[in-house]
Structure 1
């Protein structure tokens, strides 16, 4: 039970609210901006809001926290094209990011999806976390079926985030719960969650009986193993995470035996 309590505390911290801070510097050529903030996690994503008139703002860029200097309390943001709201019938405008524009981070962190190996683990975790709005994995399975991906790809998680405003993805692997920013797929925390795993459902627990497959292409094959694949996804997105590397190396050592 103590591990579930840890998960609960974690969720409460991450879903505490949206983080807002004005930009203190902007480098359009390198797509880098900075903000002053007391504390922020590397890997958090968000967007930049630009005021165009009284009570009217426009979103200009996606942002990702790539570095945080605790001494100077300065966070570095990597900017990229904002693609969550596309409409070819609307004008794009010629606004550019400027000092004073507002960085909005942790947007959607009150909504999460849990990738778990079976129904029991899914319910034990989600029922213990009350202040997070859970988006059922059935919705993700429907997105996968529409895309023809029985094996989830990184891009599928991005589409889940955009279409359902999910900010956090939780993945349960070998008695640990990985908390991930849904858009960047960067690991925010790794928490112990020692729950008994008697069975594994592929590609994850869902009540959808069959995820439709495309005729060809990446993601079109059925997922053959749970832990190795999700470890691979996490490693690709977090190549410098030493804690993850240690966990994966231990898993490989056990598998080889």
Structure 2
């Protein structure tokens, strides 16, 4: 037990006192073509950070018409690509047919004050929440309940995107052995990486109080995670680095 407590303390020591602050950044888009646009660059944004495109109808009303992801930064400009914004999707309502145009407003780092948390055990979960008091972490029970309801013991990027959308969350925080990452919940692009300690033990697929998450008996392709760190490193694209 002492060894476990020591390991947990060491895990937190290098993360504690760390900060994550990416405030919303608003600007107009221009040079729109082929599903991309150019914006003025700003230190507040990073490649992989994302947000929304707002269209002003000129009558005092505006609406979200697309999702925007920063794909490139060069000099004083940055390039964004457009994606379908599914967070407010309603099956009874059609998707907006208005495409982004020059002069529309983009708000990047959208919902970056809320994060889904993926932690290997209860102790590390509690310590991470304490380490980042400026972030509102969504309790992992909400993610665990979604996975259990959908028989997903092996969560994919798309599963986490749906969980984030249901909880109006822009970020995902993943704590792994000797490394922890804040990533955009849509692009899964790592935005901040922290050196952390060793993980003493794992709860799979991540810590929650939901209990065992089992697949349906006829699904032979969606078995439980066998290696926590390998699984989440793959989802975050860290294996390609």
Q: Which bracket does the TM-score occupy, shorter chain normalised?
A: 0.7 to 0.9
Query: Using the alignment, how far apart are the partners of 2:148 and 2:234 within structure 1?
Result: 22
- SS of the counterpart of 2:163? helix
Residue of structure 2 equivalent to 1:252:
none
How many residues of Structure 1 are paired with residues of Structure 2 in the alignment?
229
CA contact (8 A) 2:28 2:106 kept: yes
Alignment partner, residue 32 of structure 1: 36
- Give the helix-richer structure, 1 or 2: 1
- Separation in structure 1 between the aligned mates of residue 168 and residue 115 of structure 2, nearest angstrom: 9
Matched-pair contact (CA < 8 Å) for 1:63–1:78: yes
Task: State the partner residue of 1:59.
Answer: 64
Shift of 1:161: 1.4
Give 5+ residue unaligned stretches, structure 1: 246-257
Query: Does the CA contact (< 8 Å) of 1:141 and 1:206 recur in 2?
Result: yes
TM-score (norm 2): 0.87
Aligned partners of 1:151 and 1:219 also within 8 Å: no
Contact preservation (8 Å) 2:120, 2:202: yes
Distance 1:180 1:200, change over 3 A: same
TM-score, length of structure 1 as denominator length: 0.82
Deviations 1:223-253 (A, max 9, x none): 1121111112222xx676xxxx2xxxxxxxx
Q: Secondary structure at the match of 1:96?
A: coil
Matched, 1:116 2:147: no
CA deviations on 1:104-152 (whole Å, 9 max, x unpaired) are 1111111112211111111111112211111011111111112221111
Is the 1:177–1:190 contact (alpha carbons within 8 Å) kept by the matching residues of 2?
yes
Q: Select 2:212's aligned residue among 184, 191, 210.
A: 210
CA distance in 2, matches of 1:179, 1:76: 22
Structure-2 change in CA distance of 1:18 and 1:148 (3 Å): same
List gaps (5 residues or longer) in structure 2: 1-11
Change (3 A) 1:209 1:19: same
Root-mean-square deviation (CA), in Å? 2.1
Instruction: Describe how 1:1-257 pairs up with structure 2 within 5 A.
Output: 3-7=14-18, 9=19, 11=20, 13-14=21-22, 17-27=23-33, 30-39=34-43, 40-69=45-74, 71=75, 73-90=76-93, 92=95, 94-194=97-197, 196-216=198-218, 220-235=222-237, 245=241
What does residue 248 of structure 1 align with? none
Q: Is the 8 A contact 2:27 2:105 kept in 1?
A: yes
> Displacement, 1:197?
2.3
Question: Which residue does the alignment assign to 2:5?
Answer: none
Residue 85 of structure 1, CA deviation: 2.0
